[in-house]
Amino acid sequence: MSSIRIRLFAVLRDRFGAEFVALDLAPGTTARALLQRLAVQYPDHARHLSTCRVAVNHRFASDTEVVAPEDEVALIPPVSGG
Amino acid sequence: MEERIRVELVSTPIRIEDVMAGLEDPSSGAVTLFLGRVRDHHEGHEVRSIHYQAYAEMALPVMGSIAEETLAKFPVSRIAILHRVGHLQVGEVSVLVAVASAHRDEAFRACRHGIDRIKQDVPIWKKEVLADGTEEWVDARCGGETRG
């Protein structure tokens, strides 16, 4: 099992009080499973996690995309630019 | 393709005239410009200023792909997309989309497409500083922000 550092932004960065959160990554973990694991591990933030999209290597990932330890993974809360 | 597209994240005021100069093109009879500015209210709250935070490594390529997509979808010759980051006061320009094309119809439609796609997909977030001193992240799904 390897560990991955997940980048946080906006409301999640404030709630976690950090720019990254670490997660153990089982082989074959999908983007959707990663979000679900985080929600279980951090129930206080589950509501906000449920609104996030996952980005892998600077692109939005599909639910079924498998995340590798060397990927840059970020949680993308609903965007509000403009 | 490259010189037809200008995409930037900037931490200093957007220089509109410089951007417009970059859209000069003898074949383009129409130029449309959309500016988003910091508004003094949001959902009944008085807004003093806004912090814009970007995931720059992703925001720039997403802005670039929106620009390319707009050029592919509409017969336009040039497009510029710029977004501010950092702390902006009410009235400051936060986003600029400008399009040059032969005729006005596609220029308007392409510009609208560009700003709409920015609001959907570019990983940038605003945190409002309200008149009572509190600060809140704007959640685009929770209110009038989709009206932009």
Profile chain A (82 residues) by mean pLDDT over runs of 10 residues: 94 97 96 97 96 97 97 97 95
Assess whether pLDDT exceeds 90 at residue B124: yes
Separation of alpha carbons B24 and B21, rounded Å: 6
Contact B139 A7 (CB under 8 A): no
Torsion of CA B38, B40, B41, B46, to 10 degrees: 130
Contact B139 A77 (CB under 8 A): yes
Return all residues near A18 (Cβ < 8 A) that are at least 6 apart.
A8
Q: Is the dihedral of CA B39, B45, B47, B51 positive or negative?
A: negative
pLDDT, position B148? 44
What global pTM score does this model have?
0.94
In tens, the pLDDT along B60-98 reads 999 999 999 999 999 999 999 999 999 999 999 999 999
Tokens encoding B141: 């799904």
pLDDT, position A31? 98
Assess whether pLDDT exceeds 60 at residue B2: no
CATH number belonging to domain A2-76: 3.10.20.30
pLDDT, position A1? 79
What's B2-135's CATH class?
alpha beta
Q: How many CA atoms lie within 13 A of A23 on its CB side?
A: 30
Residue of A nearest to B140 (CA): A80
Per the prediction, chain B carries an average pLDDT of: 93
**Is A16:A9 a contact under the CB 8 Å cutoff?**
no
Closest CA to B59 of B15, B148, B125, B146: B125
Sequence-separated contacts (24+) of A27-33 with Cβ below 8 Å: A28/A66, A29/A66, A29/A67, A30/A63, A30/A64, A30/A65, A30/A66, A30/A67, A31/A56, A31/A61, A31/A62, A31/A63, A31/A64, A31/A65, A31/A67, A32/A63, A32/A64
3-class SS of residue B137 = strand
**pLDDT interval class at B144 (50, 70, 90):** very low
Contact A82 B53 (CB under 8 A): no
In tens, the pLDDT along B18-61 reads 999 999 999 999 999 999 999 999 989 999 999 999 999 999 99
Of A7, A74, A82, Cβ closest to residue B94: A82
ipTM: 0.96
**Is A51:A78 a contact under the CB 8 Å cutoff?**
yes
Contact A79 B58 (CB under 8 A): no
Element (H or E) spanning A38, and its range?
helix A31-41
Of B57, B115, B145, Cβ closest to residue A80: B145
